[in-house]
C-alpha cells in the first residue's frame, strides 16, 4: 500500500517551525493517550533548532507530559557527544536541557566509537529492546523527523551509498561525502516502518531537492525498484509502508514544485 504524501507549505521558516511544533504536540498527546508513551526520532542538522526552541518554549513545554517522551536519533556524526557538530549536542542544548529530559529517556547513537559497525549493532539492539521487538519484526516509531540535504540525502542516507540497499538492519555505519565522514544512520526500511514521518525543509537551497524527491518515490521494499534517481536522491526512498508522510516546507523550498505537485493532498488536522 503506498502512503499518500501530505504537503504543507508555510510562508517562511518561522511559520514552518510553529506548525511543526503544533503537530508534534498534537501527535505526542495522541501517542501518550492511546499507547502511554511517545517514541520520537530526532533529525540532525540545523533546521530542527527552531522547532526545538518552540517545543522547549512557554507555548509547548507545558502541553506535553515530557516524562512519557522517548528520544532516538535518525543519524549521528562520528564525533563525541559534546562536539559542536554532534546531533546529540544540538538536541541537548535546544531540547533536552531546557525540558530537563532524564538521560534514561534518550538513546544516543555512539558514532564516536572506533568500531562503527559494532556501534550500529548496539544501537539497533537498544531500539529493539525498548520496543520489545526482535528480527524479523521491525519497531514502529510514533514519529520520525527528517531533514533534507540540498543533494537529496536524508538522515545520513547519502547518494550512491551501500546504506541505501540495506533491507534487514535498522542501523548501519556509513560515510558522508562532506564534513564529518563517519556516520551512523537509520536505514530507509527502518524509517519506513514509522507511524508518521515528517520532513522539514526550509529555504531556497532545498528547492531543487524538494522537487526532485517529491516528484516520485520508489517503494523501498522492492529492491528491484531502487532506480538511478533513488540512488541520486535518497530521500525518495522514504515511503512509510503503513503510515503517514508529511512534508513541512516553506515557500522558498517549495518554489520548484510544479502546480501538480503542489496539488498533492494536504491534510488538515
Ligand atoms: C545531519 C542530518 C541531515 C540533515 C540535512 C539537512 O546529520 O546532518 O541528519 O540529514 O537533516 O543535511 O540539514 P540542515 O537542516 O542543516 O539543512
Contact 66, 104 (CB under 8 A): no
Rounded distance between C-alpha atoms, residue 227 and residue 200, angstroms: 24
> Read out DSSP for 155-170?
TTB-TT-GGGG--S-S
Query: Which residues make beta-bridge pairs with 249?
Result: 9, 201
**Any idea which residue has 543533494 for its cell?**
151
Integer Cα distance of 235 and 162 in angstroms: 15
Q: Could you tell me the distance, in angstroms and rounded to a whole number, from the CA of residue 149 to the centre of ligand 1?
A: 6
Atom of ligand 1 nearest to the CA of 183: 7
Residue 172 pLDDT: 98
pTM, to two decimals: 0.94
pLDDT digits (tens, 9 = 90+) for 106-119: 999 999 999 999 99
Question: 147, 148, 174, 178: which to mutate for ligand 1, most atoms within 8 A of CB?
Answer: 147
Name the grid cell of 10.
508555510
pLDDT tens for each residue of the chain, 269 residues long = 456 789 999 999 999 999 999 999 999 999 999 999 999 999 999 999 999 999 999 999 999 999 999 999 999 999 999 999 999 999 999 999 999 999 999 999 999 999 999 999 999 999 999 999 999 999 999 999 999 999 999 999 999 999 999 999 999 999 999 999 999 999 999 999 999 999 999 999 999 999 999 975 545 555 556 788 889 999 999 999 999 999 999 999 999 998 666 665 444 33
Q: State the average pLDDT for the chain.
A: 93
pLDDT of res. 268: 36
Which residue's CA is the closest to the ligand 1 atom numbered 11? 147
pLDDT at position 267: 40
Phi and psi, residue 209, nearest 5°: -65, -40
Nearest atom within ligand 1 for CA of residue 87: 7
Tell me the CATH architecture of domain 2-251. 3-Layer(aba) Sandwich (3.40)
64's CB contacts (< 8 A; 6+ apart) are 25, 28, 29, 32, 38
Q: Residues lining ligand 1, CB < 6 A?
A: 43-47, 74-75, 87, 147-149, 153-156
Residue with grid cell 572506533, as numbered in its chain: 114
Amino acid at each position: 500500500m503506498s502512503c499518500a504524501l501530505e504537503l504543507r507549505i508555510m510562508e517562511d521558516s518561522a511559520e514552518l517551525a510553529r506548525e511543526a511544533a503544533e503537530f508534534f504536540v498534537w501527535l505526542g498527546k495522541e501517542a501518550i493517550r492511546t499507547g502511554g508513551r511517545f517514541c520520537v526520532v530526532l533529525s540532525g542538522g540545523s533546521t530542527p533548532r527552531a522547532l526545538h526552541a518552540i517545543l522547549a518554549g512557554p507555548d509547548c513545554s507545558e502541553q506535553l507530559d515530557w516524562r512519557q517522551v522517548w528520544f532516538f536519533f535518525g543519524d549521528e556524526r562520528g564525533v563525541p557527544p559534546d562536539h559542536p557538530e554532534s546531533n546529540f549536542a544540538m538536541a541537548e542544548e535546544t531540547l533536552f536541557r531546557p525540558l530537563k529530559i532524564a538521560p534514561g529517556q534518550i538513546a544516543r547513537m555512539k558514532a564516536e566509537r572506533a568500531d562503527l559497525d559494532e556501534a550500529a549493532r548496539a544501537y539497533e539492539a537498544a531500539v529493539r529492546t525498548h520496543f520489545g521487538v526482535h528480527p524479523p519484526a521491525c519497531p514502529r516509531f510514533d514519529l520520525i523527523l527528517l531533514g533534507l540535504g540540498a543533494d537529496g540525502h536524508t538522515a545520513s542516507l547519502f547518494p550512491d551509498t551501500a546504506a541505501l540497499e540495506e533491507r534487514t538492519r535498522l542501523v548501519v555505519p556509513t560515510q558522508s561525502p562532506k564534513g564529518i565522514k563517519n556516520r551512523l544512520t537509520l536505514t530507509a526500511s527502518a524509517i519506513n516502518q514509522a507511524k508518521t514521518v515528517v520532513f522539514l525543509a526550509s529555504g531556497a537551497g532545498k528547492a531543487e531537492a524538494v522537487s526532485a524527491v517529491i516528484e516520485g518515490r520508489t517503494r523501498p521494499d522492492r529492491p528491484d525498484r531502487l532506480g538511478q534517481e533513488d540512488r541520486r536522491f535518497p530521500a525518495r526512498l522514504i515511503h512509510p509502508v503503513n503510515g503517514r508522510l508529511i512534508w513541512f516546507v516553506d515557500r522558498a523550498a517549495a518554489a520548484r514544485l510544479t502546480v501538480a505537485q503542489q496539488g498533492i493532498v494536504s491534510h488538515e488536522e
